[in-house]
Amino acid sequence: MAQAQLVIRSGETPPSGSPRSPRRRRYDREQVITAAVFLAPALVVLAVFVFYPILAAGQISLTSWNGFDPVQPFVGLGNYQRLAQDPEFWNSLAVTVGYALGVCVLSVVSGLAIALLLDAPLRGLGIYRSIYFLPVVTSSVAAAIVWRYLLDPSGLVNSVLAQFGIAGPDWLQDRYLALGALTLLTVWKNIGFNAVLYLTALQALPHSIYEAAGLDGASGWQKLRHLTIPLLSPMTFFVVVQALITSFQAFDLVYVFTEGGPRGGTDVLGMFMYRTAFRLGDFGYGTAIAFVTLALVLGVTLVQWRVTGSDGTER
Amino acid sequence: MTRAQAGRLVRHAILILGSVVVVVPFLWMFTTSLQTRAETYTNSSILPTSWHWENYLRAWQSAPFAQYYVNSLVMAVGIVAGHLVFDALAAYAFARLDFPGKNVLFPVLLAGLMVPTFVTVIPAYTIVANLGWIDTYAALIVPRLADVFGILLLRQYFVTIPVELEEAARIDGCSRAGTFFRVIVPLSSPAFATLGIFSFLFAWNDFLWPLLVTNNDDMRTIQLGLSSFVGRYGTSWNYLMAGTLTATIPSIVVFLFFQRALVRGIASTGLKD
């Protein structure tokens, strides 16, 4: 399933009843057997299709395997060296970083803005929430097709621009415009999701702090700037990490929207990996791309974690 | 007009403007699907001058949409069922049972959640190919019968159910497994509903995995069919929009029926595709 992260509540397992000796824990036989039977189906599926593949991928990335031959020629770190010298990779990385930054910033701003607007008794709240959520449940393929149509040279966007006397460009034929359009499409698709996350966080904030600030004469803007935004930083961290993962894993949207074009302008890492492995049959190199992507996401997440964690905003 | 009223008005104005941006693409999808091909290039009015419902029939006849639909449904139902059974059993073990290795296994599963699909997809593909499953339902369903997210979601719910209820059942002679089926499962329908909806939406909207493990048009799912439709009918926007809308309707219907459960689930877990 897709990316997910859970806030695990501290609901711990109840003690099993029997007193535990410090040296050797004793397990209730019935519990152990039940657990084994209950865990087996899920663990078999996960082991074969998730955990073993992680290890196998590590090995494949050290080969120049074409996906068919029984032999997997070992090349050591060759694929990684090749990546470092591959202009296609550097283009893809630059595109992905630009895209990820755009998605992060716009996701935080738009999600927070809508959540703030919705965070108070307001008629039609449920209707707004449903509307903003529609793109979230729509598939990436459908979203990409619709936006291709809207951005067509003779499409709605350019027709509206023409009403104002502006000659609209051919959006998907210019590399920067296409990347910008892809960024906006991604944000459009996830806006409801981010708004719901922020809304939940906002509604969990303590009222008393705001009342105290109000008594001290703080203005609405000051409350937002000095109370709401800092108090929401754990959620902002979460939204940023999610946006990062989404952009570093982007594939469906790009595949249908631009196919990585024009001339590599939207060739995100996911697209680059898919093309390398499944179109060119270069499985070893493709897996190396996937690993570098994973390392980048983990690295950025850890740095982010450090930064937000250090000022005591970590929940 | 008081200040509060003015504030509400401004908020409504901004929210409505935002809603328009969100909804117009859907509206446009619908009206375009009813236009003639010539009309789609003029964008003269929102409403079609005449309503060409036959576009839907034409679009469906020009590609095996019915087959795509059936394939997506079979896959989605299989995956939902798998998650509801496999994930629930594992979740119960982690929530309530004590067994050796539990404190290692659980963090390992959590870590697995962070690994992007990209890393696992190539070896997973080769396993499925070696099993001879390419172009079968098994390839679409079996690798995703269980997932870590579902285990965590259900576990989180199970631990909130008072232990006393199970202890009472135990005193009455119920086995461990019995307490799961007779006490926990009947009390957990909200959690099962949330997971079922998530699983359905992910399966229905999934793209990369079905793209890899199916080659035959008869085994393609609706999202794949739609994407190949773009290649073949890229300029017939009316047919394209008719196809896109039919592929999107199940997601929207599921969402509209179950949005409370879905939004509650997202709010408590934070999940996105």
Confidence of residue B115 (pLDDT cuts 50, 70, 90): confident
pLDDT above 60: residue A4: no
Confidence of residue A241 (pLDDT cuts 50, 70, 90): confident
Would you tell me which residues 60-89 of chain B have a C-beta closer than 8 angstroms to some C-beta of chain A?
82, 85-87, 89
Instruction: Assess A285–B contact: CB distance below 8 Å, yes or no.
Output: no
Q: What pLDDT is stored for residue A198 in this prediction?
A: 93
pLDDT above 90: residue A33: yes
Confidence of residue A309 (pLDDT cuts 50, 70, 90): low
The residue among B43 and A206 whose pLDDT is bigger is A206
CB-CB: which of A131, A238, A251 is closest to B23?
A: A131
Contacts of B32 in chain A (CB under 8 A): 149
User: Of B85, B83, B76, B198, which is closest to residue B146 (Cα–Cα)?
Assistant: B83
Domains of chain B by residue range:
62-268
> For residue A252, what are its two tokens?
């469906």
Contacts of B8 in chain A (CB under 8 A): 122
Residue A251 near residue A271, CB atoms below 8 Å: yes
pLDDT above 70: residue B143: yes
- Average pLDDT over chain B, rounded to an integer: 89
Would you tell me which residues 101-160 of chain B have a C-beta closer than 8 angstroms to some C-beta of chain A?
102, 105, 108-110, 112-124, 126-127, 142-153, 156, 159-160
Lowest mean pLDDT among A301-305, B13-17, B42-46: B42-46
pLDDT above 60: residue A15: no
Please state, as a whole number, how many other Cβ atoms lie within 10 Å of the Cβ of residue B62. 15
Strongest mean pLDDT among A15-24, B151-160, B254-263:
B151-160
CB contact under 8 A, A48 and B175: no
Cross-strand partners of A74: A63
Q: Give the relative orientation of helices A140-150 and A156-163 as an angle to the nearest 10 degrees.
A: 40
Q: What is the ipTM of this complex?
A: 0.90
Q: Tell me the C-alpha distance between A43 and B99, whole Å.
A: 15
> Which amino acid type is present at position A292?
V
Please state, as a whole number, how many other Cβ atoms lie within 10 Å of the Cβ of residue B176. 22
Confidence of residue B36 (pLDDT cuts 50, 70, 90): confident
User: Of A272, A265, A279, A280, which is closest to residue A249 (Cα–Cα)?
Assistant: A272
Cis before B123? omega within 30: no
Model pTM score: 0.89
pLDDT above 50: residue A238: yes
Residue A246 near residue A191, CB atoms below 8 Å: no
Pick the CATH number of B62-268 from 1.10.3720.10, 3.40.50.800, 3.40.50.970, 3.40.50.2300: 1.10.3720.10
Contacts of A35 in chain B (CB under 8 A): 93, 97-99, 102
Instruction: Assess A297–B contact: CB distance below 8 Å, yes or no.
Output: yes
Residue B246 near residue B56, CB atoms below 8 Å: yes
Strongest mean pLDDT among A287-296, B26-35, B137-146:
B137-146
Give the Å distances, CA to CA, from A243 to A105, A135, A191, A249. Answer: 9, 16, 11, 10
Instruction: Assess B236–A contact: CB distance below 8 Å, yes or no.
Output: no
Q: What pLDDT is stored for residue A141 in this prediction?
A: 95
Per-residue model confidence as pLDDT tens digits over B199-216:
999 999 999 999 999 999
Contacts of A34 in chain B (CB under 8 A): 93, 97, 175-177
Contacts of A133 in chain B (CB under 8 A): 255, 259, 262-263
The mean pLDDT value for A4-8 works out to 40
Exposed, middle or buried by CB within 10 Å (0-12, 13-18, 19+), for B4? exposed
Domains of chain A by residue range:
2-60, 79-308
Phi then psi for residue A74, to 5 deg, are -75, 125
Contacts of B160 in chain A (CB under 8 A): 9, 11
Per-residue model confidence as pLDDT tens digits over A90-139:
999 999 999 999 999 999 999 999 999 998 878 888 889 889 999 999 99
Pick the CATH number of A79-308 from 3.40.50.300, 1.10.3720.10, 1.20.1250.30, 2.60.40.2470: 1.10.3720.10
Per-residue model confidence as pLDDT tens digits over B147-190:
999 999 999 999 999 999 999 999 999 999 999 999 999 999 98
The residue among B72 and A67 whose pLDDT is bigger is B72
- Average pLDDT over chain A, rounded to an integer: 87
Instruction: Assess B239–A contact: CB distance below 8 Å, yes or no.
Output: no
Would you tell me which residues 177-216 of chain B have a C-beta closer than 8 angstroms to some C-beta of chain A?
177, 180, 198-199, 201-202, 204-205, 207-208, 212
